[in-house]
Amino acid sequence: MIAEAGLNVNRSFERIRYFNKFQVNGETIVEVKDFNNFKHKEKDKDTFRFLKQYMNLHKCDLFFADKVIMVEGITEKLLMPLFIKKVANKIENEFVSVIEVGGAYTHKFKEFFKFLNTKVLVITDIDSVDEIDGTSCHVLKPNAKTSNATLSNWLPNKQKIEDLLAVKFEEKLDESKIIRVAYQIAEEGDQFVARSLENAIVNCNQAFFKAKYKYLDENNEERENDVHNCFKYKKLKNLDDLIYLDTDRKQSEVDPSSVQKTNFTFDLMTFDENNTGLSWSVPKYIKEGLEWLADNEHLKSNL
């Protein structure tokens, strides 16, 4: 319906009217937005063309979403329902669109979401690189910077890793206050900062991955197993391979491969928390972001 109504690269958004709902002093206010206005305010023709092309091919449901979560990879997208269930289950009662967009393109959606007044959480990687040669490096390596365009050019608009790790809550918000970024930070009482989602999960779940659980075998005899044996990611047997403080160590030795990421994701999704009596936790940066997204203060308006 959206595509036929006007979401077309040649025809643009002209024939679309968008209705937004607010609560003002206990009364419901409906605001009508005309995409002709959005079109004429858009100065970046390449960005506007990207938006039309992307949503025509992939995500018309963005027009109907209560909230949006933007992620970089398939790992985040697959695990997001579990993250939400664990730390922000209020969102399960809302229509949340999870879209996968590389860090280099996330900022292109900025004006679109602000126009719709849609609350958006951008979950991205800190992508630390060496200041001199640009190779991947430990997050805490001195003078490291980010290669992530979203972080350096939009939110929080900082390039040095030390600056990114020092930002306050307000600096992670767009000026509209309805768009927020979340990227890797240290866990409570910890100094290590992960560079990837997988390592962030491992870091905040060290006790989980070192744990043992009991189960009954096919002969109904009690056995004991290590949690890490439930995962194909063999480095979990020695967490020091993943959680390390040697900032000069090559990042390529630590970052999981694409196959390892996929296996880790599915093993985590299928781990039986009920029968083992063990559960894993959501990394702090994602937890904080989802808790912010679950709040509905943005629905109140001063119109």
Residue type, position 65, single letter: A
DSSP-derived 3-state class of residue 235: helix
Residue 177: predicted pLDDT: 92
pLDDT, position 155: 95
Question: How many CB atoms sit inside 10 A of residue 76's CB?
Answer: 20
Q: State the Cα angle at 20 between 15 and 25, rounded to 5°.
A: 155
Domain boundaries, the chain: 2-188+285-299, 198-282
pTM of the model: 0.84
**pLDDT score at 59:** 53
Q: Where do the H-state alpha helices sit in 88-222?
A: 110-116, 149-153, 161-164, 197-203, 206-210
Q: What is the CA radius of gyration of the chain?
A: 22
Tens place of pLDDT for every residue, the chain, 303 residues?
Answer: 555 554 444 444 555 555 666 666 777 777 766 665 665 445 666 666 666 666 655 556 777 788 999 998 889 999 999 999 999 999 999 999 998 887 677 877 787 787 778 899 999 999 999 999 999 999 999 999 999 999 999 999 999 999 999 999 999 999 989 999 999 999 999 999 999 999 999 999 999 999 999 999 999 999 999 999 999 999 999 998 899 888 998 888 888 999 999 999 999 999 999 999 999 999 999 999 999 999 987 666 543
* 179-185-191 Cα angle (round to 5): 165
Cβ burial of 79 (10 Å; 0-12, 13-18, 19+) is: buried
User: Are the C-beta atoms of 236 and 228 separated by less than 8 Å?
Assistant: yes
Helix (H, G, I), strand (E, B) or coil at 168: coil
3-state secondary structure of 300: strand
Q: What does residue 208 show for φ and ψ, rounded to 5 degrees? A: -65, -50
Q: Both ends of the chain: CA-CA distance in Å?
A: 30
Residue 184 burial class via C-beta count within 10 angstroms: exposed 0-12, middle 13-18, buried 19 and up: buried
The backbone region for 44, taken as left when phi is positive above 0, alpha when psi lies in -120 to 50, beta otherwise, is: beta
133, 127 contact by CB (below 8 A): no
- Say if CB 158 and CB 151 are below 8 A apart: yes
Residue 61: the pLDDT is 74
Task: Name the strand (E) or helix (H) holding 223.
Answer: strand 222-226
What DSSP line would sit under 13-42, residue for residue?
TTT-EEEEEEEETTEEEEEEEEHHHHHHH-
